[in-house]
């Protein structure tokens, strides 16, 4: 429900082509819209009841932007070069398990915007639960052994089959042993 609210707010506001100078204003407007909608829909709730991080991408043919708040990770890849790539790492707080949410009062201080040049043709966004087996920060890239077969399978199969397979991978006992956090992976490839 919270993630759908954020998605709807961004899609509605980001319908026009973007200039870099507009991105922060638009992102802030989308987050504020979502926050207001949550409080309106649940008048007895507090924003803290809906704590969530943000990882979003806005792209068109001329490039785009990765927007983040919190401990999600995003990567932009050019021609399947998994490492190095444009890697946008999570932001944690003072402690390893601390992160930041768009529902906190000072969320603007943690909104990170990274330009993505048009040459990048593949995007990977993951929640913190999938980060540890998806990224190789020391290599400034993604773990080829994990991400290459996943992306190849997703590209070669229908959406429904890909969703089922990805869910099985992310919910596998080995993945749960690595992290008990939620595991979401978004994969997008630009068609040229």
Domains of the chain, start order: 2-189 (3.60.40.10)
Kindly tell me if the per-residue pLDDT of 153 is higher than 70: yes
Least confident segment among 73-77, 102-106, 182-186: 182-186
Q: For 149-156, what is the mean pLDDT?
A: 94
DSSP H/E element including 115: strand 112-116
Cβ 73 vs Cβ 90: under 8 Å:
yes
- Report residue 17's pLDDT band, with 50, 70 and 90 as the boundaries: low
**CA dihedral defined by 160, 161, 162, 166, rounded to 10 degrees?**
110
45 or 5, higher pLDDT: 45
Kindly tell me if the per-residue pLDDT of 24 is higher than 70: yes
Provide the pLDDT for residue 41: 93
Provide the pLDDT for residue 13: 61
């Amino acid at each position: 429900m919270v993630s759908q609210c954020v998605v709807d707010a961004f899609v509605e506001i980001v319908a026009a082509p973007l200039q870099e100078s507009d991105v922060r204003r638009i992102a802030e407007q989308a987050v504020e819209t979502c926050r207001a909608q949550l409080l309106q829909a649940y008048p007895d709730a507090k924003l803290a009841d809906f704590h969530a991080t943000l990882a979003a991408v806005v792209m068109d043919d001329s490039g785009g932007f990765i927007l983040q708040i919190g401990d999600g990770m995003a990567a932009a890849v050019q021609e399947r070069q998994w490492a190095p790539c444009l890697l946008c790492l999570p932001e944690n707080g003072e402690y390893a398990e601390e992160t930041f949410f768009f529902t906190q009062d000072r969320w603007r201080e943690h909104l990170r915007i990274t330009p993505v040049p048009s040459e990048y043709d593949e995007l990977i966004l993951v929640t913190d639960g999938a980060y540890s087996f998806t990224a190789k920060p020391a290599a400034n890239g993604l773990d080829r052994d994990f991400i290459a077969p996943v992306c190849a399978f997703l590209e070669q199969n229908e959406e429904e089959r890909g969703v089922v397979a990805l869910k099985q991978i992310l919910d596998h006992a080995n993945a749960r042993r690595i992290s008990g956090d939620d595991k979401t992976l978004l994969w997008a490839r630009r068609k040229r």
